[in-house]
Structure 1
């Protein structure tokens, strides 16, 4: 039995490392070329030969040693040399990085994105610079965006500096021109990490009004937070934004994504949220916050979720200057028979 377990683990290790190395070689450093495809195919073949060779005592040890040397060579000699960059040909909506300057309680944020959308991919680039007073910071909201069922959501934090002043931050993969997003590629140093600092009429309205394939359902939840916690979190965001402006970092589908990075940033607060599988399955993050008494409501969660659905009112508000105020005035009467479930 022990021998069976040992060999089973070895087989799984070989299969796992071979798949990882083949994909790492195939995707390469940002782009896939013919040479990378050939090298990946050769390594896949050698991995298969090594796997088959486990059945032959004469060749087993030699093949395992050779495979280990090649794998370590890929990891140490190539993988760790792939470095992030801010100097690529970026998609127009991701071309400018935000940064901020701090003067006492005043934080001036540069390159706040506020695109004028005609459709998802047809827009006029626009940015502004604005100074925010930390003394006016009242807390924040969590936006959860669903497009593929209840388990997965893109999450956005928006900071509230008064009834008419909101600053949204969406943590995303920074994509190059004509580059699509792939969950698999996100594991292999293919995207840089970016904090999109934006007007809600940009980053929220894009998702409620202009993304149609697939349709995205957006929910807004008011976070129950003390002012000091909100202040520390906002300043932690600003710190990370400035760090990425000066020194790029990689996005990772599992470890450095829109939700895990939010959780990592909240650890600046003494009473931060404990880690949970609902952070990895980000669609359940609002429910986890509700269970942790971090959502400001006394409603049952299913009612809260229904009330949090903002697509209809956002589509009505569209380009109105009071867009942010209107999406916060959603009532159940506006929803009628609209399907508000995160299901696709």
Structure 2
């Protein structure tokens, strides 16, 4: 075998292996068959790819590539027809779409979640309609909830509005990009690459969406004040509203790499602020504070480790009352949040 032919066979083998590495889990996660039948199909595909590689190295590339190419084309034809749904048996906490309307500076949000969580399966469900005056928008905070080691965190963004009568004169609403789980469904990062989950945008009271993570799920949560000018804060809030309206019109799939809780926020912020660099920490979202600090997006003049230590709200959240004082209590000592 000549060097040129060996190089060509090597490259084609790599293509077959990589395409099969995508095809097998795609079939596993999305093929509508009983588990044993799905497993059999996956094994057959892997065997088919192996046979194509053997034929390739035995000097029969045309036969190998033609058979595999036809099969892969049929697989892609099936794949592109898998569409996101809006009519599954959704888990209660993501069962409703956030709905918004605007009159002047006042945005009305319907289906703001305010659940009282006792465990992941025991809760009192509440959905509310709330109004927020963009002329009274005063702050933006980012919360990172660590649930699987230092590199993996869920990103939430909370907006603070000046409101008379609210504790500390502020009312918070937090937005979270999440998978839209079906009842009994669990999250898998691998499945998230393969059209397993639809996207959900949740707007919630912090007593719900932060407290469930610290007090019920045992996650470690950090809160950081984001340095944004008032017009950018307003634009980011309206970007969330627009995203909610888009998901209500047309459901979308979650994707672990390209459409997750951090990358979607980045896309919205990039349209507003501009000049935000692409960075590996947007994928390893546990390191998002390092990214924001390097970009000048956190409280200026503060060391990152000091911000991180002061921003750890887990213990404060666990000790805070499950009432309107919650948001005020978790911010005690967080740099930039004393107003």
What TM-score do you get using the length of structure 2 for normalisation? 0.92
* Deviation digits for residues 70-125 of structure 1 (CA, Å, limit 9, x no counterpart): 1011102x000000011000111111111111112111001000101112321111
Q: Equivalent residues in 2 for 1:1-344 (5 A)?
A: 3-28=5-30, 33-57=35-59, 59-76=60-77, 78-162=78-162, 163-211=169-217, 215-330=218-333
Question: Which stretch of structure 1 is more off in the superposition, 80-89 or 44-53?
Answer: 44-53
* Deviation digits for residues 123-174 of structure 1 (CA, Å, limit 9, x no counterpart): 1111100011110112300001112222111110011112421110110111
Residues in 2 aligned to 1:24 and 1:312: alpha-carbon distance in whole angstroms:
41
Tell me if the contact between 1:236 and 1:268 (Cα under 8 Å) persists in the aligned partners: no
Give 4+ residue runs of structure 1 displaced > 3 Å after superposition.
1-6, 29-38
Tell me if the contact between 1:29 and 1:82 (Cα under 8 Å) persists in the aligned partners: no
Question: Which stretch of structure 1 is more off in the superposition, 277-286 or 323-332?
Answer: 323-332
SS in 2 for 1:46: helix
Residues in 2 aligned to 1:30 and 1:204: alpha-carbon distance in whole angstroms:
36
Deviation (angstroms), 1:272: 4.6
Tell me if the contact between 2:90 and 2:182 (Cα under 8 Å) persists in the aligned partners: yes
Where do 5+ consecutive residues of structure 1 fail to align? 333-344
Residues in 2 aligned to 1:243 and 1:98: alpha-carbon distance in whole angstroms:
10
Residues in 2 aligned to 1:5 and 1:32: alpha-carbon distance in whole angstroms:
41
Aligned length: 327
Residues in 2 aligned to 1:232 and 1:295: alpha-carbon distance in whole angstroms:
18
What TM-score do you get using the length of structure 1 for normalisation? 0.90
Residues in 2 aligned to 1:124 and 1:29: alpha-carbon distance in whole angstroms:
35
Tell me if the contact between 2:113 and 2:202 (Cα under 8 Å) persists in the aligned partners: yes
Tell me if the contact between 1:172 and 1:257 (Cα under 8 Å) persists in the aligned partners: yes
SS in 2 for 1:190: coil
